[in-house]
Amino acid sequence: MTNGARNSKRPYLIRAMHSWMMDNGETPHVIVDAEKAGVEVPRAYVKDGKVVLNLSSTATQRLVLGNDWIEFEARFAGVVHHVRIPVSTVLGIYARETGEGMVFSEQDLGPEPPTKPAPPEDGSRRPQLKVVK
């Protein structure tokens, strides 16, 4: 990225957890906030504003776990649908068999721009680090 901005860790964590689950013979599922802009899923499968999607290699075709988007084709009730979701709408990823996984917070989308610390009110210097033996 440019201007010193940092990438969100969410897509990297999703890819890592997906890989770990697949390597261990587990079925990765993601929970998606289906009410957010850009979510393209079959609306019949949305419940309480959320949808759970199976991201296993047997359930998806042409799966792309990108930095901004997750895209794939999958069958829902025998009908192939193209699914496209912004990574920012993924609320968590877990293994169906064990429930192990990760829940994401807003902070996982990327850090806030750094703010300049306020100078001490008494005009004293900032603390210095010392080597302790």
Mean pLDDT of 80-88: 97
In a domain, 22, yes or no: yes
pLDDT tens digits, 12-26: 999 999 999 999 999
Q: Which residues pair with 90 in a beta bridge?
A: 32
* Contacts for 68 with CB less than 8 Å, ≥ 6 apart: 11, 86, 87
The better pLDDT of the pair 90, 107 is held by: 90
> Given a cut of 90, is residue 54 above it in pLDDT?
yes
Is 127 among the domain residues? Answer: no
Q: Is residue 120 part of a domain?
A: no
Domain ranges, residue 95: 10-105
Number of domains in the chain: 1
Does residue 16 fall inside a structural domain? yes
Res 129: pLDDT? 55
Cα separation, 30 vs 53, whole angstroms: 5
pLDDT of 109 higher than 90: no
Residue 43: inside a domain: yes
Mean pLDDT of 57-69: 97
Phi and psi angles of residue 59, each rounded to the nearest 5 degrees, phi first: -100, -15
What pLDDT is attached to residue 105? 85
- What average pLDDT does the segment 109-118 reach? 46
Segments of the chain assigned E as strands: 28-33, 50-54, 60-65, 69-76, 79-86, 90-95, 101-103
pTM of structure: 0.76
Q: Is residue 24 part of a domain?
A: yes
Does the residue 60 lie in any domain? yes
**What are the phi and psi torsion angles at 106 (to 5°)?**
-60, -30
Report the CATH number at residue 95: 2.30.30.220
Q: With left for phi above 0 and alpha for psi between -120 and 50, is residue 9 left, alpha or beta?
A: alpha
Quick check: is 4 in a domain?
no
